Amino acid sequence: MDYRTCSEIIMKRVMPQSHPVAIKIIKGGDPFPEDVRRPSHFGIKIALCQWINLARRWGWVVGAEAQDINCTPCLAGYGFKKLKEKADLGQFFVDMGYFDALEPALSLAEQLEVLEPGEVRGITISPLAKIQSDPDVVLIYGTPAQMTRLAYSSIQSSGRLIHSVTGFGLSCLSAVMPHWKGEPTLVHPGRGERMLGGTDDMELCFSLPGSQLEAFVNGLEVTHKKGLRFPIQGYVLYEPAVIPAMKALEEKLEEV
């Protein structure tokens, strides 16, 4: 598949303000690529959402593994470090101010899916147009209206509705879960990603398995030809009402 062409079609049909990005999951026993920019190159540790932002806005090819990350929810969620008990995650949610009682926090913690410790060694992120091998996940950031346009494309090719998730403390994990789930997801980036990762107030994220990209892009073209466009065309073929002040002015006008 020509991923540069796929990227160009997405940019042309949907007009996102940043590059579609491709993510490769580095499994536990696999070597980590050497030709990517890592936080250690700059003498820092990061939240993973920062590195996604670098790839989609700066066009960089970047990567990170456990020793590059200081975001503890990310370390726990990706299994970079072992989460002993889900209750610890629940207490974290209380400490962060999401809950004022432990019981509902524990209920949410039990619902969150995290990866097995050691399952993932790290990830690499690049603009879709630059990736050299098949991506595991493709991310497209955009406005709610652009997400609607992307959903039409996915539904056209799969016949399945799109599920959405709130990136509750783990937006970066929600973004790559389609690799394991096998279905596209609309991600509502959480507070951390918007504070640290540079995600705009009006941005959402559409994530799909890399294996579905070709069908998705085809769906984008097919639906475009059927008239499902972006920007969405506002209907203006109607006669607006004439309000009293306009009517009063009209009565004072003379024919030319």
The residues spanned by each domain of the chain are 3-82+117-232
Global confidence as pTM: 0.93
Q: Which residues does 101 contact at the CB level (< 8 Å), separation at least 6?
A: 94
Closest CA to 213 of 14, 12, 20: 20
Q: Which tens digit of pLDDT belongs to each residue from 70-124?
A: 999 999 999 999 988 989 999 999 999 999 999 999 999 998 889 999 999 999 9
**Distance between CA atoms of residues 154 and 165, nearest Å:** 17
Q: Which tens digit of pLDDT belongs to each residue from 202-219?
A: 999 999 999 999 999 999
Residue 235, Cβ density class (10 Å: 0-12 exposed, 13-18 middle, ≥19 buried): exposed
Instruction: State which amino acid sits at residue 37.
Output: R
